[in-house]
Structure 1
Amino acid sequence: MSIDAPSSARQLADDAFSSGLYCAESVVVAIARSQGIESELLPKIATAFCSGMARTCGTCGALTGAMMGISLALGRSRALEPVQSCYEATQRLVADFESCFGARDCHMLLGCDLGTPEGQAIFREQKLGTRCRTYTAKAAGIAARILAHTKP
């Protein structure tokens, strides 16, 4: 990955989010594209991770999308291949994301439970999608920066 990969990944994620993809979908697509990978399977595999693990108050979809992007670059294809570089990169990603935003779980980041009608109303009324857009771009940038400085 090149030196400008973090800003490129941020922009790709922001563009994907603006086009209607959700957080995890946008980030994994952005990280994949920054690696020259295109596949219609990428947003599909990420969909359930959006909105804090399908609106269950789980990990932010932007963060899980970034984890998938890191795995795409550093993950293994065979049982006997090492996992250490992927795990270390993912641990840095989570630490950096939490340092930046103070949390990793969707409901903590947004202040509402997307799994309830009340939470969805708060999300709309407070226009919290703008926060999601920020988390999405930042997660992609963090992942791309880590990948640019990690040897596979």
Structure 2
Amino acid sequence: MEESVKFGRLAEAHFESGLLCAESVVSAIAEYQGVDEHLASKMATGFCSGMARTCGPCGALSGAVMGISLVLGRESLSDTVSTTYEATQELVEKFESEFGAKDCHKLLGCDIGTEEGMEYFRSHNLRSNCSNYTRKAAQIAVQILSKNA
């Protein structure tokens, strides 16, 4: 099985077991990199649900950006940001191309920061969409990271 598919499925399994979107993606990428996934998951919590239900970027996408930065981010002030930025831009472009948006409320068609939005989310079983975003964000990130290894 291709590595990106494996870690995409791992992220989805994390999500299905109770982790939230950003937590699931960054945990899978941390495992891919051999880094403590529990600390990575903890760092990601505020990014879940479109930055804590504020209609921000999709949490799965945010978790993937954190994962890319975990692997490619600068280690010293003299390091360049170009590799990380290029990988992040590619991730965002591919995610948006796949799903038509990058912000949580646009992807879901509702604002989950409101009672009405959460009711819509539940009644339309949109959690399954989030599971898909989680799997695909991790898969895209690992594809990009494997090219930069």
Q: Return the TM-score normalized by structure 2.
A: 0.97
The answer on 1:28 being equivalent to 2:29 is no
Superimposed CA distance per residue, residues 50-71 of structure 1 (whole angstroms, 9 cap, x where no aligned partner): 0001000010000000000000
Structure with bigger helix share is 2
Identity %: 56
Structure-2 residue corresponding to 1:72: 70
Distance 2:127 2:139 in 1: 18
Q: Which residue of 1 is the match for residue 36 of structure 2?
A: 38
Q: Which amino acid is the alignment partner of residue 115 of structure 2?
A: P
Maintained 8 Å contact 1:70/1:86: yes
Residue 99 of structure 1 corresponds to: 97
State the partner residue of 1:11.
Answer: 9
What is residue 47 of structure 1 aligned with on the other side?
45
| Secondary structure of 1:68's aligned partner | helix
Match of 1:133 among 125, 131, 134: 131
In 2, distance between residues paired with 1:22 and 1:97? 18
Q: 1:144 aligns with which of 130, 142, 145?
A: 142
Alignment gaps of 5+ in structure 2: none
- Secondary structure in structure 1 of the residue aligned to 2:56: coil
Please list every run of at least 4 consecutive aligned residues from structure 1 whose deviation after the TM superposition is greater than 2 angstroms. Answer: none
CA distance in 1, matches of 2:144, 2:49: 24
Give the letter aligned to residue 56 of structure 1: T
| Aligned residue identity for 1:133 | S
Contact 1:57 1:105 in 2 (8 A): yes
TM-fit CA distance, 1:39: 3.7
Report the AA paired with residue 59 of structure 1: P
Q: State the Cα deviation string for residues 95-134 of structure 1 (Å, max 9, x = none).
A: 0000000000000000000110000111111110000000
